[in-house]
Amino acid sequence: MVSVRTDLAVEAKELYEEKSSNKIPGVEVSEHVDSNIKITDVTIVDESGERAMNKPKGTYITLDIPEVSGYDEETMEDVSRVLAKALSPLINLDENMTAMVVGLGNWNITPDALGPKVIEKLMITRHLKQLIPDQIDEGIRPVCAMAPGVLGLTGIETGEIIKSVTEKIKPNLIICIDALASRRLERINRTIQIGNTGISPGSGVGNKRMEISERALGIPVIAIGVPTVVDAATIANDTIDIVLDAVINQATKGSGFYDMLRSLDRNEKQKMIEEVLNPYVGNLMVTPKEVDSVIDSVSKIISTGINIALQPALELKQINNYIM
């Protein structure tokens, strides 16, 4: 089978369902809607689920958010509150326990700058709790953050940096934010995935690095990601599918031409397209032209959602006063 580039558990589920009509073994799936946002929970419960989904055991929550271009503040806050509600059950901390937020990615490349941009808008309090504890509210949880850059900029594995800092400051929880890859054009910048299994930086673009997970670091790791790029071959494949659907609708059922079109396998088309494109564009990843403004909006949504989830004792207005 052709390897389709996707970091989303919900898309791994779709890939399995395209190949088989049977229920995915070892995987539990549920869906609900909150404030007009569709939320899909995918839980991999055992080894058979890991094999079927090609992902580690754990919980993956996917939010299908509205198109973010032209968002107003109220809409962004609504999406942030839904994100916080989905994130909060995964945060198992007392109010004095420390959370460390890590913004993965390269701040010099817009589609990969989501993590560092989220860090800029967080409510950072660990230093305040240590230096002026009498001047801040007791209910405020200590939060610290870092944007460690990427191997090409630092010469150091991102996982090594995070592990070293973790051993020094000993946080009780790590939340990682990263840009992901999707196999569907319609999910680019319109999907937020939350998972409790950690993350492998760069895996979505075929550049897998040291994983950042509880297994590697010894403390719980929550990963939040947004797909910002899609493989060019996937775009070509989707385009061909649209054309074929139109041709099939016009073809006469039962004819040889109709049967031939219906028998085309998506994976076979994907492989053919990759072989044709590779000499010209290589492993090209594509992002929308309005990615600058979209990343600004999505990073604000995610940072606000994290702030709400990490500081349950505060109202959003109070949180905003700390980061203005």
Residue 1 lies in a domain: no
Q: In the predicted model, is pLDDT for residue 66 greater than 90?
A: no
Q: How far apart are CA 225 and CA 101, in angstroms?
A: 13
Q: How far apart are CA 167 and CA 144, in angstroms?
A: 14
Residue 29: predicted pLDDT: 94
- Identify whether residues 74 and 187 lie together within a single domain: yes
- Dihedral Cα 268, 269, 274, 279, nearest 10 deg: 110
Residue 244 lies in a domain: yes
Residue 283: predicted pLDDT: 63
- Identify whether residues 47 and 136 lie together within a single domain: yes
**pTM of the full structure:** 0.83
- Identify whether residues 132 and 87 lie together within a single domain: yes
Handedness of CA 234, 236, 242, 248 (dihedral sign): negative
Phi/psi at 217 (5° precision): -110, -15
CATH code: domain of residue 181: 3.40.50.1450
Q: How far apart are CA 211 and CA 175, in angstroms?
A: 13
Domain that holds residue 241: 234-281
- Identify whether residues 224 and 187 lie together within a single domain: yes
More confident residue, 4 or 255: 255
Residue 213: predicted pLDDT: 93
Residue 175: predicted pLDDT: 98
Q: What is the mean pLDDT of residues 281-288?
A: 64
- Identify whether residues 110 and 37 lie together within a single domain: yes
Q: Is 35 helix (H, G, I), strand (E, B) or coil?
A: coil
Q: pLDDT, tens digit, for every residue of 223-240?
A: 999 999 877 767 666 667
Q: In the predicted model, is pLDDT for residue 219 greater than 90?
A: yes
- Identify whether residues 163 and 277 lie together within a single domain: no
Helices (H), the chain: 9-19, 47-53, 73-87, 114-120, 126-131, 151-154, 158-169, 214-217, 232-250, 256-262, 266-281, 291-310, 316-323
Q: Residues 199, 212: contact at Cβ < 8 Å?
A: yes
Q: Is 262 helix (H, G, I), strand (E, B) or coil?
A: helix
Residue 26 lies in a domain: yes
- Identify whether residues 275 and 129 lie together within a single domain: no
Q: What is the mean pLDDT of the chain?
A: 84
CB-based burial of residue 213 (10 Å sphere; 0-12 exposed, 13-18 middle, 19+ buried)?
Answer: buried
Q: pLDDT, tens digit, for every residue of 141-168?
A: 999 999 998 888 888 989 999 999 999 9
Residue 1: predicted pLDDT: 37
Residue 2 lies in a domain: no
- Identify whether residues 52 and 100 lie together within a single domain: yes
Q: What is the mean pLDDT of residues 241-265?
A: 65
Residue 312: predicted pLDDT: 93
Q: In the predicted model, is pLDDT for residue 204 greater than 50?
A: no
Q: How far apart are CA 318 and CA 140, in angstroms?
A: 11
Residue 3 lies in a domain: no
Residue 4 lies in a domain: no
Q: In the predicted model, is pLDDT for residue 264 greater than 80?
A: no
More confident residue, 90 or 110: 90
Q: In the predicted model, is pLDDT for residue 2 greater than 50?
A: no
- Identify whether residues 33 and 163 lie together within a single domain: yes
Q: Which of 6-20, 101-115, 282-296 has the lowest mean pLDDT?
A: 282-296
| Angle at CA of residue 31, ends 30 and 36, nearest 5° | 165
259 pLDDT band (50/70/90 cuts)? low
**Number of domains present in the structure of the chain:** 2
